[in-house]
Every structure is written in structure tokens, then in C-alpha cells.
Amino acid sequence: MEGKMIDENGLRVDGRKVDELRQIKIEAGVLKRADGSAYVEWGKNKVLAAVYGPRECHPRHLQDPSKALVQCKYNMIAFSVSDRKRPGPDRRSVEISKIISEALEYVVFTEYFPRTSVDVYIEILQANAGTRCAGLTAASVALADAGIPMKDMIPSVAVGKIDGQIVLDLCKEEDNYGQADMPIAIIPRTGEILLMQMDGHMTTDEFNRAMEYGFGACEKIYQLQKDALKRRYAVEDVEGLEEDVPREQQELEG
């Protein structure tokens, strides 16, 4: 497939430039039962994230007397991929859940809620490359929507390599023939890297270019995250009274 993924005008199979993101749509507060939630459409990815907590930590022997645990479960639903995936965690999703949990733990003020658990659920409804980045991006918004005190939100994106070129945000078709894939997550304000994985083949120069693209994209995604929260609050202001009714009912349930 060498040489076929980027055309003579430098455009990719879906018409994007090498440093261009797919279309991203973020919506906060999309679920009723969850304490916080977000929905992300990212190209053809469809991702739902929900947050419960801080709440009692189960099993109890995992409780940390000095802080809350941030426990993320990343899951692909059975029909999110072309071959049906058997329900239940596989090794890939266990690893992704671990590294997303670690990234989120850094931004949550866990010391405020000792012995509790902040549970984050990411469900990939439709997968098209880059689901862990879309999931982490959604999870950050869901945490904020849940009112969990946190340092900042974490945007995330993958940078890849196709046809010997560093390229931002591979879609599935590109990923299938890609030469490298590097998902990252950062705090744009400080430049801190919270998630970074790579597989494939990159020189040091290519790595530097990739980080440039990635950092730039994360700035944009961060803006989308903030916009989603703003829209959510704006809606709340308008529909405040109506929205309050179910909230009160929830309190009654104890």
C-alpha cells in the first residue's frame, strides 16, 4: 500500500491534511443516572463516558485511607467493531483501562476523598481507530460534569505514520496500513504528558514532529472539551427549574 494513503496534494484518504483532526463533537451531561457523563463523536468513533462517585470503594481491601481511587473501565461493545467482540474484558481493554486510570488519577484531587472510589466507565459504541484517545477525552469531560474537583481536563489524540510521513489522528483505514501509532494525552496548560504509548517505527526526528502535531491538536481538543461544558452549564441555567426536579428526587432516594 506504500504511497497510496497520501495523494499528490498531500491529502489523505478522507481528504484531511497531515496535521488535521477528524471532526469532533463533544456533549456533556448526556445520561440521567450517572453523576457525570459525556458523549464524543470523533470521526466515525462514538464514545460514551460516565462517572460515578466519589462513592464507597469495592472491594473494601482496595480502599486507600489517604485518597480516592480512580478506577476506569474501558470497554468496546460487542457490535462496535466489524467482527463481533465477545462481551467482557480482554487483555487490550485491561491495559487501556489501566493507563487511562493512571492519567485521570493525576488530575483528580484524590486526597479530598479518602477511602472512596471515583469510577469512570468508557463505552466504545462504534470504533474507528483512536478509541482510547476519544475515551479519555470523554472521561475528562464526564469527570468535570460530575463536579469532581480536578486540576484540569486531559485532551488526548494519536499521532501516526503512513507512507513514511507523520500524520495526525489516523482513521481506521489509515491505521490498518500505518507504520506507527502514538496515542498521547497532555495537560495543555503545563505541557505535562500523562499518557504516551507508541508502536511501530519512528526516528527521533519523527518523534519530535509527532509530538508537535500532538501538542497542537490537544490544544484544540481541550477547547472543544471546555465548550461542551459551557454549553452544558448554559442549558442548565435556562432549564434550571425543570432540571432540579429529578435532582431532588435523587436526593430523596438517599
Partner 1 sequence: MARAIMSDIKRDHIHKLLSKGKRVDGRTWDEFRQVSIERRFVESAEGSARVMLGDTDVLVGVKIETGTPFSDTPDRGVLSTNAELIPLASPNFESGPPDEDSIELARVVDRGIRESEMIDLTALCIAPGEEVWLCFVDMYVLDYDGNLFDAAFLGAVAALKSAMVPAAMNGKGEDFPLPIRNTPISCTAVQIENSILFDPTLDEEKVAAARLTVTTDENGDIRAMQKGLEGSLTLEQAKRIIETSQRLGRDLRKLIG
* Residue 52 binds to partner 1 (criterion: CB under 8 A): yes
Tell me, what DSSP letter sits at residue 246? H
What is the rounded CA–CA span in Å between residue 19 and residue 210? 9
One character per residue 7-36, x = contact with partner 1 (rule: CB under 8 A): ------------------------xxxx--
Do 31 and 89 contact (CB within 8 A), yes or no?
no
Nearer Cβ to partner 1, position 7 or 244?
244
Rounded to a whole number of angstroms, the minimum distance from the CB of residue 66 to partner 1 is 10
What count of other Cβ atoms lies within 10 Å of the Cβ of residue 163? Answer: 18
DSSP 137-185: HHHHHHHHHTT--BS----EEEEEEETTEEEES--HHHHHT-SEEEEEE
What is the rounded CA–CA span in Å between residue 79 and residue 116? 33
* Residue 121 binds to partner 1 (criterion: CB under 8 A): yes
Nearest to 226 by CA among 126, 109, 96, 137: 137
What is the rounded CA–CA span in Å between residue 137 and residue 39? 10
Can you tell me whether residue 80 is helix, strand or coil?
Answer: coil
Among 8, 83, 237, 242, binds partner 1 (CB under 8 A): 83
Rounded to a whole number of angstroms, the minimum distance from the CB of residue 89 to partner 1 is 8
One character per residue 190-209, x = contact with partner 1 (rule: CB under 8 A): xxxxxxxxxxxxxxx--xx-
Tell me, what DSSP letter sits at residue 25? E
Q: CB under 8 A: which stretch of 6-14, 16-24, 187-195, 217-225 binds partner 1?
A: 187-195
What is the rounded CA–CA span in Å between residue 195 and residue 136? 10
Nearer Cβ to partner 1, position 1 or 10?
1
* Residue 50 binds to partner 1 (criterion: CB under 8 A): yes
* Residue 80 binds to partner 1 (criterion: CB under 8 A): yes
Grid coordinates representing 34 are 450517572
Q: By CB under 8 A, how many residues form the interface with partner 1?
A: 67
Among 55, 109, 147, 243, binds partner 1 (CB under 8 A): 55
Among 12, 16, 22, 46, binds partner 1 (CB under 8 A): 46
* Residue 187 binds to partner 1 (criterion: CB under 8 A): yes
* Residue 119 binds to partner 1 (criterion: CB under 8 A): yes
* Residue 84 binds to partner 1 (criterion: CB under 8 A): yes
What count of other Cβ atoms lies within 10 Å of the Cβ of residue 73? Answer: 16
- For strands 69-76 and 116-126, give the pairing: parallel
What is the rounded CA–CA span in Å between residue 159 and residue 202? 11
* Residue 125 binds to partner 1 (criterion: CB under 8 A): yes
Summarize as ranges the residues that interact with partner 1 (CB under 8 A).
31-34, 44, 46, 48-50, 52, 55, 62, 64, 73, 75, 77-84, 87-88, 91-92, 94-95, 97-99, 102-103, 105-106, 119, 121, 123, 125-127, 182, 187, 190-204, 207-208, 211, 215, 249, 252-254
